[in-house]
Amino acid sequence: MEGLYQEVLAITLRTLWISGTATILAISWSIPLSLILISSKNRISIFIQDFFNALISLPTVVLGLALYLILSKSGPLGFLGLLYTPLAISIGQSILITPILVSMITSSFQKLRDEVWETAITLGASEFQASIALLREGTLLLIRAILAGFNRAVGELGVALIVGGNIKGFTRVLTTTIALELTKGNFELAIYLGIVLLTLSTIVTVAIRSLGLRGAYR
Amino acid sequence: MLIDKMITLENVWFSYEDEHYVLRNISLSVCEGVTVIKGPNGSGKTTLLKIASLLLKPKKGHVIVEGTSFWSASRSVREKLRRKVVYVHEKPYLFKGTVYDNIAYPLKIRGYDLSRVVDVAKEFGVGKILNTNVNELSAGMRQLVALARTFVFKPKYVFLDEPLANLDDENKSRIIRIIEKYARKGIAIVVATHMNINFRKEIVSKIAFMNNGVIVKVSKYK
Amino acid sequence: MSSKALIIIVLAIVLSVALLSLAYMLFTSEKQVVLRVLTTTSLYATGLLDRLAEEFSREHPNIVVQFIAVGSGEALRKAELGDADLVLVHAPSLERKYLEKGVIYCGKIFAYNYFVIVGPRNDPANIAGLDPIEAMKKIYEAGERGYAKFVSRGDNSGTHVRERMLWKKAGLNPKGKPWYIETGSGMSQTLMVANEYSAYTLSDIGTYLKFSSKLTELKVLVDKGDILVNMYSAYLVRESKNEKYAKMFIDFIVSDKGQEIIGCYGREEFGRPLFYPVKTASIEELKRMWNELAEE
């Protein structure tokens, strides 16, 4: 039982690390992209926003398979040797959650943007400084989007299984462990791990909710 | 009147998206003293103000700032000119944080010294609430903070959109006094309003009457 | 905005990817050889492979063996794409196809056990103790008359390949019949479905034994016959750059020590081993059976 506990702990920490990295990656391009999208109100940006909205429901296995074919030894990026590594999962999950981040940020920032942007610009801010001001004013909205993205990354199975390979002690995360234990017939352990996963995302969801309430109060 | 101390709109047309023109063939110049733009709600005052304060780009026509056609100028020239101009919304947006943070903002982004903040705050009657969070302010107080934040960096052109809306009489007269004071210092102040505001005659340079997207009459004083 | 922001985006991406790969390289910079082994799920799920790898790593601490559990069909297809050093599979007819393509080579049978036909305790098709082909015919007949159902993996796994072979040998094609249910999922899920429907299904003995306590409606009805022999083979992958080490792993699992681990595994838990080491049958006999199975 001692060994099992340690392994569950290790898997949980690995899950947080891999999905955390995915979230950081996704943030690095989602925030600038969202800022561009909300500042340029032309047809192309509306189309891109609709496109990202549609991508939110992309099945994870489809993305996983596409990534597999790209990262495979015989695929275009095979030479990187990323397949079946934690980084491959992080990259896959970061792509998976990008539409969520972009959609949440653009939709929640749209109203705030006009006010903050106009105020900052007219007070003499450069466009870069105005973007900073917008991000600062929308910190809570931003954190909400980030947590939602993180939650999705932690809870997805397809990408982690297909490009991670569920390798013991290396790319095994909570969801892939649950799938494996199910195959092994260890339903009890699968449920136990499911509870760990549920607890994690409940904590995150409650955090989102409380931030949302405080954000609304502003 | 020196041309390099003015913002001039030349035959400006404007529409949002593909709608009809909300401004039609507007020509107006703004110079030292107070310019009042009077007109009913929906007559196009706010749009005109945003174009004159360089926030909106006209669909047709030119905005000349101190002799330079603003929207054909280079990016760096535009940024330099824009820093002399400020627009204050009817319900100004205050950044999260304290009153001090807000008044200091224009100075910080310009890299100016912040020592002026306290004096300006006192002048605008918000000196005692510098450390108050802006969430806790009344509408009148917010307007005063926004004005302090506006004048603190010594802009040359100030555009005030309905500055007296939502204010009680005491604050109304306080703001009128402040506007008159800065107008006397040589700042060009444009006030858009649907009300009658009694400024001292000698500081009002012109009153433009707007209706339905056009300027119907301009009365010059100086 | 756009040009500046675009530069920022590109920079952010490049920077973060660079940082991450750097961190990743630091993490894995130890001088270890990583062996990627694509293995069938049923084999991996028993836990035998982790036990073998543990022992192997004790002898070769510089080699890390990583198992990726997939179906036999998927394992071979991925080997073709070059994504493994080794494959462990149990589908002779598929193996032969990939051997001919030159994707895999140097195969060794390292363990075997039996497929079993399991079914409802009351055995409506009356197959208990029959020859496997006869049993399939009876199931078909009972299915047609509405007395029985059959659950298939339907996922091109080794088990599914064997099941198709049984139908073929019986001269029947149940595909599309209302009593023929394809789950498209792993052995454990398929057994659970069979249990729910009180249906017949083909299973490897290992998975069935692990699950038997949960499969209250089912029992083993047919477990004899050459055609039910389930042989696990290890192959080197042509594209692999770790050929030397992969060879070492295969040598290990067919060595006396490896074979002993295989022969003992599961004995404590189930009262009988899940797998038989190859030496308990004559290797020629196994090869003959493999060839027969690969014919299909």
CA–CA dist C142, C125 (Å, integer): 5
Q: Do A118 and B109 touch (CB under 8 A)?
A: no
Can you name the residues that pair with B188 across neighbouring β-strands? Answer: B33, B157
- Geometric angle at alpha carbon B201, from B27 and B166, rounded to 5°: 80
What stretches of C60-131 show up as alpha helix (H) in DSSP? Answer: 72-80, 92-101
- Residue B55 has its nearest CB partner, among A115, A121, A218, at A121
Q: A163 near A68, Cβ under 8 Å?
A: yes
Is the Cβ of B135 closer than 8 Å to some Cβ of chain A?
A: yes
Which positions in chain A touch B82 (Cβ < 8 Å)? 121-122, 124
Nearest chain B alpha carbon to A127: B79
Nearest chain A alpha carbon to C187: A183
Look at the block and give the residue holding tokens 């306080």: B174
Q: Is A35 exposed, middle or buried (0-12, 13-18, 19+ CB in 10 A)?
A: buried
- Geometric angle at alpha carbon C51, from C45 and C53, rounded to 5°: 105
Q: Is the pLDDT of residue C6 over 80?
A: no
Can you name the residues that pair with B62 across neighbouring β-strands? Answer: B10
Nearest chain B alpha carbon to A125: B109
Query: What does the domain layout of chain C look like in residue ranges?
Result: 33-113+230-295, 114-227
Q: How close does chain A come to C5, measured CA to CA in Å?
A: 6
- Residue A24 has its nearest CB partner, among C16, C69, C82, at C16
pLDDT at C3: 53
User: Considering Cα of A162, then A167, then A173, then A174, what sign does the dihedral take?
Assistant: positive
pLDDT at C24: 64
Residue B88 pLDDT class (50, 70, 90 cuts)? very high
Q: Is the pLDDT of residue A9 over 70?
A: yes
Is the Cβ of B45 closer than 8 Å to some Cβ of chain A?
A: no
Q: Is the ipTM reported for this complex over the cut 0.90? A: no
Q: Is the pLDDT of residue C21 over 70?
A: no
Instruction: Choose from C16, C87, C157, C242 for mutation: most chain A CBs within 10 A.
Output: C16
Q: How close does chain C come to A127, measured CA to CA in Å?
A: 7
Nearest chain A alpha carbon to C75: A165
Q: Do A165 and C12 touch (CB under 8 A)?
A: no
Annotate B13-30 with b (16+ C-beta within 10 A) or e (fewer). Answer: bbbeeeeeebbbebebbb
Residue B195 pLDDT class (50, 70, 90 cuts)? confident
Q: Is the pLDDT of residue B2 over 80?
A: no
Residue A26 pLDDT class (50, 70, 90 cuts)? very high
Q: Do A123 and B86 touch (CB under 8 A)?
A: yes
Question: What CATH topology corresponds to B3-91+154-220?
Answer: Rossmann fold (3.40.50)
What percent of chain B stands above pLDDT 70?
A: 97
Q: How close does chain C come to A204, measured CA to CA in Å?
A: 24
Q: What is the tens place of the pLDDT at every residue in A49-96? A: 999 999 999 999 999 999 999 999 889 998 888 899 999 999 999 999
The SS3 of residue C106 is strand
The CA-atom distances, in angstroms, between C295 and each of B47, C134, C157, C288, C289 are 82, 20, 17, 11, 10
Query: What does the domain layout of chain B look like in residue ranges?
Result: 3-91+154-220
Is the Cβ of A124 closer than 8 Å to some Cβ of chain B?
A: yes
A97-101, B47-51, B94-98, C288-292: segment of lowest average pLDDT: C288-292
CA–CA dist C8, A32 (Å, integer): 7
Q: Do A121 and B149 touch (CB under 8 A)?
A: no
Q: Is the pLDDT of residue A217 over 70?
A: no
DSSP state letter for B57: -
pLDDT at B199: 84
Kind and range of the H or E run holding B85: strand B85-88
Q: B9 near B20, Cβ under 8 Å?
A: no
What stretches of B34-188 show up as alpha helix (H) in DSSP? Answer: 45-52, 75-82, 99-110, 116-123, 139-151, 169-184
Q: Do A75 and C1 touch (CB under 8 A)?
A: no
Residues B121, B124, B128, B130, Cα dihedral to 10°: -40
Q: What is the tens place of the pLDDT at every residue in C37-51? A: 999 888 888 889 999
Is the Cβ of B136 closer than 8 Å to some Cβ of chain A?
A: no
C33-113+230-295 and C114-227, same CATH topology: yes
Q: Is the pLDDT of residue C10 over 90?
A: no
What stretches of chain C show up as alpha helix (H) in DSSP? Answer: 2-27, 41-45, 48-59, 72-80, 92-101, 132-144, 158-169, 187-197, 205-211, 243-254, 256-264, 267-270, 283-295
Q: Do A166 and C8 touch (CB under 8 A)?
A: no
CA gyration radius for chain A? 19
A36-45, A203-212, B142-151, C41-50: segment of lowest average pLDDT: A203-212
Residues 127 to 186 of A: which have CB under 8 A from any C CB? 127-128, 131, 165-168, 170, 180, 182-185
Which positions in chain A touch C2 (Cβ < 8 Å)? 36, 40
Nearest chain B alpha carbon to A139: B96
Residue positions counted in chain A: 218
Query: What does the domain layout of chain A look like in residue ranges?
Result: 2-217
Q: Is the pLDDT of residue C110 over 90?
A: yes
Q: Do C210 and A21 touch (CB under 8 A)?
A: no
Q: Do C45 and A78 touch (CB under 8 A)?
A: no
> How many CB atoms lie under 10 A from the CB of residue C29?
8
pLDDT at B222: 59
Q: What is the tens place of the pLDDT at every residue in C238-275? A: 988 899 999 999 999 999 999 999 999 988 888 888 88
Q: B144 near B175, Cβ under 8 Å?
A: yes
CA–CA dist A143, A131 (Å, integer): 16
Q: Do A136 and B106 touch (CB under 8 A)?
A: no
Look at the block and give the residue holding tokens 């296995």: A61
The SS3 of residue A16 is helix
Q: Do B109 and A218 touch (CB under 8 A)?
A: no
Q: Is the pLDDT of residue C7 over 70?
A: no
- Choose among C155, C182, C181: nearest CA to C70: C155
CATH class of segment(s) C114-227: alpha beta
Q: What is the tens place of the pLDDT at every residue in C203-223? A: 998 888 888 888 999 999 999
CATH code of C33-113+230-295, in short, is 3.40.190.10
Which positions in chain A touch C45 (Cβ < 8 Å)? 180, 183-185
Architecture of the domain defined by A2-217: Orthogonal Bundle (1.10)
Is the Cβ of B96 closer than 8 Å to some Cβ of chain A?
A: yes
Q: Is the pLDDT of residue B1 over 80?
A: no
Is the Cβ of A167 closer than 8 Å to some Cβ of chain B?
A: no
Residue A2 pLDDT class (50, 70, 90 cuts)? low
Q: Is the pLDDT of residue B79 over 70?
A: yes
* Residues 6 or more apart whose Cβ sits within 8 Å of residue A15: A154, A173, A174, A175, A200
Look at the block and give the residue holding tokens 């363990």: C111
Look at the block and give the residue holding tokens 């299915």: C143
Question: What's the mean per-residue pLDDT of chain B?
Answer: 89
Taking the model in full, what pTM does it have?
A: 0.80
Nearest chain A alpha carbon to B160: A122
Q: C133 near C169, Cβ under 8 Å?
A: yes
Which positions in chain C touch A33 (Cβ < 8 Å)? 9
Which positions in chain A touch B135 (Cβ < 8 Å)? 218
